[in-house]
């Protein structure tokens, strides 16, 4: 394991040529631990992680209706006041039949509609991108046309339909026909009587950079492709290989304009190239030595506050953790922070599947209209284990000062909970509800293979006093664990556990049971320096000077979680008949106060 960790951490050199199109600075890359879900890195405060789609064969009516369990190739768009999220869905394995393109919509990026078909089974297959807003204002959705084989290098035929202002979908038409058209090929887009729709389709086909988002420039005419797809244009006439001939430049390209107007292209394995003439010519692709990225994609974009972000997995061989670095100019990035610190287990077997958060994409420059979007956050979508579809709502600015004290009444919380890092699966949601005479945060858990979690970061402190109110509203099978954690990494100094029967446990002390449907007052006085803590429950001291389980120099995070700590899940799958909602466990939390008492 130690040898593996050392391998995954290389290369770590910070020195690089001044001409490098992307430079990542800071100490975090040296500390990435690929054996931890969060890599041992600090998390970015305030990120709301929401599961948009959860696959299930045993509860198909609460999934996609068919029990398909391979879901990936995500893309995001924004049109007429709604976010659009699309993904490819197949029965069990990557790039197989049956295949269909699913989508969901949201007005706030947190609450999402049930999945529906963007393009139906039997005609469509995956692309890297699905949304294009034409210069004339029309919003188009595209997908690959299902042909004899489904492989990246053979993708070329396309189908298209319009997303209308009332959010209905227009008829499916052919955008690029197959060489040998299938019998069910839709009519060519040029046969439409809607001239604005035809013009929008032509604008898409004329936009080489948009089409270059698909692997190897396969959708672009050879004379218009980025020339580096052709081995003869490289020094020595051969494509440089990263980890075999599959991982060459040009897989899953994403594009953004940096502050100086240069167009930047970043693809899998950290390949990067730039264009100063809007995509007509491109610099020789390089792998910036400080951008340590693998095969799960790199996403780059301008953020709503005018800065820039790169989202990726900072290892060569694993698809976790999911991190962000940010930049003022789109060249030099820093402050590596974790967006998603959880790593759900893979429940179903399948070809080309594995644990991890991957295929991340935000909203490209071509996938958004001019309607007002939220200015305080941006969205990144991705697949977990190529099974479930998630969105991270990332607040901007991405970095600020952590509070030294917490005084959380949840009065200002909406669908997103300011300051809290939320992990909200479809069957284990975290939300704000009415309770205790005001608003409170509710963690519900009906998921037999996952949990709900809420984490609050605060300025590192050695000695603290924490108070909060808690109510057990429903008692199912899930426990609740309350933890005070180190500022970063896996160290868990203090853990309080409430079992399904209401028994409170801390430091091998059992207290309780806690009465159901009643508000209980908790107070924890803890000293990292003295390695001790004391607990008061409803005004009565129940634990006096217990020894901290895992010593840490300081505290820096408060966590509520409806399940035990799990680390990196092993390769185990759900047993048949068990992947369906369980009896609900519901916990409510209010009036969270924390202050330093040094």
| One domain for residues 386 and 443 | no
Query: Domain end: 395, 421, 444, which one?
Result: 395
pLDDT of residue 244: 55
Residue 500 within a domain: yes
| One domain for residues 191 and 234 | yes
| One domain for residues 378 and 448 | no
| One domain for residues 379 and 470 | no
Q: What's the CATH code of the domain at 460?
A: 2.60.120.200
The band of 300, judged by pLDDT with boundaries at 50, 70 and 90, is very high
Residue 95 within a domain: yes
The band of 338, judged by pLDDT with boundaries at 50, 70 and 90, is very high
The encoded tokens of residue 450 equal 């996952």
pTM of the model: 0.94
The answer to whether residues 77 and 363 touch, using CB atoms and an 8 Å cutoff, is: yes
> Is a pLDDT exceeding 80 seen at residue 246?
no
Query: Domain end: 341, 363, 395, which one?
Result: 395
Residue 135 within a domain: yes
Residue 400 within a domain: no
Which DSSP string do the residues of 90-133 spell out, in sequence order?
ESSSTT-SSEEEEEEEESSSSS-PPPEEEE-TTTEE--S--EEE
| One domain for residues 224 and 90 | yes
Q: What is the domain range of residue 9?
A: 2-395
Count of beta carbons in the 10 Å neighbourhood of residue 243 = 12
| One domain for residues 382 and 525 | no
How do 308-312 and 299-302 pair as beta strands?
antiparallel
pLDDT of residue 177: 92
Report residue 197: phi and psi, to 5°: -65, -45
Number of domains in the chain: 2
Residue 140 within a domain: yes
> Is a pLDDT exceeding 70 seen at residue 7?
no
The answer to whether residues 79 and 368 touch, using CB atoms and an 8 Å cutoff, is: yes
Residue 505 within a domain: yes
The band of 491, judged by pLDDT with boundaries at 50, 70 and 90, is very high
Q: Which residues pair with 394 in a beta bridge?
A: 378
Q: What's the CATH code of the domain at 196?
A: 2.120.10.10
Q: Which residue has the higher pLDDT, 58 or 18?
A: 58
Q: Which residues pair with 481 in a beta bridge?
A: 497, 561
User: What percent of the chain clears pLDDT 90, i.e. is strictly above it?
Assistant: 85
| One domain for residues 23 and 148 | yes
How do 70-79 and 363-368 pair as beta strands?
parallel
| One domain for residues 379 and 436 | no
3-state SS class at 539: coil
| One domain for residues 6 and 108 | yes
| One domain for residues 144 and 87 | yes
- Cα three-residue angle 432-437-439, rounded to 5 degrees: 15
| One domain for residues 373 and 467 | no
How do 480-485 and 494-498 pair as beta strands?
antiparallel
- Tens of pLDDT, residue by residue over 111-121, are 999 999 999 99
Residue 401 within a domain: no
Query: Domain end: 355, 376, 395, which one?
Result: 395
Residues in the chain, how many? 598
| One domain for residues 30 and 163 | yes
């Amino acid at each position: 394991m130690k040898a593996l960790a050392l391998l995954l951490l290389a290369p770590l050199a910070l020195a690089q040529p001044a001409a490098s199109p992307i430079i990542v600075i800071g100490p975090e890359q040296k500390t990435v631990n690929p054996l931890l879900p969060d890599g041992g890195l600090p998390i970015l405060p305030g990120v709301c992680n929401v599961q948009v789609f959860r696959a299930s064969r045993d509860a198909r009516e609460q999934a996609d209706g068919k029990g398909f369990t391979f879901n990936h190739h995500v893309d995001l768009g924004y049109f007429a006041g709604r976010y659009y999220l699309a993904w490819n869905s197949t029965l069990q394995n990557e790039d197989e039949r049956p295949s269909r393109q699913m989508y969901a919509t949201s007005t706030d990026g947190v609450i999402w509609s049930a999945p529906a078909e963007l393009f139906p089974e039997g005609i469509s297959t995956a692309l890297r991108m699905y949304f294009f807003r034409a210069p004339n204002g029309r919003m188009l959705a595209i997908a690959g046309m299902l042909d004899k084989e489904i492989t990246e290098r053979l993708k070329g035929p396309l189908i298209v339909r319009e997303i209308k202002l009332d959010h209905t979908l227009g008829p499916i038409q052919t955008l690029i026909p197959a060489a040998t058209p299938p019998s069910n090929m839709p009519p060519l887009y040029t046969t439409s009587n809607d001239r604005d729709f035809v013009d929008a389709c032509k604008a898409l086909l004329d936009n080489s950079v948009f089409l270059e988002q698909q692997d190897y420039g396969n959708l672009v005419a050879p004379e218009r492709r980025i020339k580096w797809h052709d081995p003869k244009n490289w020094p020595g006439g051969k494509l440089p290989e990263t980890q075999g001939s599959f991982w060459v430049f040009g897989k899953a390209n994403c594009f953004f304009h940096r502050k100086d107007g240069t167009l930047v292209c970043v693809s899998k394995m950290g390949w990067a190239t730039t264009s100063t003439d809007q995509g007509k010519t491109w610099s020789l692709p390089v792998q910036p030595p400080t951008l340590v990225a693998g095969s799960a994609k790199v996403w780059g974009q301008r953020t709503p506050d005018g800065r820039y972000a790169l989202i990726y997995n900072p290892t060569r061989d694993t698809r976790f953790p999911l991190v962000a670095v940010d930049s003022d100019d789109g060249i030099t990035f820093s402050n590596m922070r974790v967006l998603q610190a959880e790593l759900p287990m893979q429940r179903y077997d399948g070809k080309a599947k594995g644990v991890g958060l991957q295929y991340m994409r935000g909203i490209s420059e071509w996938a958004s209209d001019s309607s007002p979007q939220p200015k305080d956050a941006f969205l990144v979508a991705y697949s977990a284990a190529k099974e479930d579809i998630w969105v991270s709502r990332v607040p901007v600015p991405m970095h600020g000062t952590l509070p030294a004290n917490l005084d959380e009444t949840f009065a200002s919380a909406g669908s997103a909970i300011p300051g809290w890092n939320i992990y909200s699966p479809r069957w284990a949601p975290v939300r704000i509800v009415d309770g205790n005479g005001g608003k409170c945060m509710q963690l519900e858990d009906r998921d037999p293979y996952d949990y709900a979690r809420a984490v609050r970061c605060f300025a590192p402190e050695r000695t603290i006093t924490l108070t909060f109110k808690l109510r057990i509203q429903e008692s199912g099978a899930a426990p609740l664990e309350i933890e005070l954690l180190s500022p970063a990494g896996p160290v868990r100094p203090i853990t309080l556990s409430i079992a399904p029967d209401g028994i409170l446990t801390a430091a091998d002390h059992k207290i309780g049971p806690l009465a159901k449907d009643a508000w209980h007052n908790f107070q924890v006085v803890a000293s990292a320096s003295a390695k001790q803590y004391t607990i008061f429950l409803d005004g009565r001291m129940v634990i006096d000077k217990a020894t901290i389980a895992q010593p840490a120099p300081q505290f820096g995070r408060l966590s509520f979680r409806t399940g035990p700590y799990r680390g990196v899940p092993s390769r185990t799958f759900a047993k048949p008949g068990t992947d369906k909602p369980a009896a609900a466990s519901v916990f409510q939390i209010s009036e969270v106060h924390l202050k330093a008492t040094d």
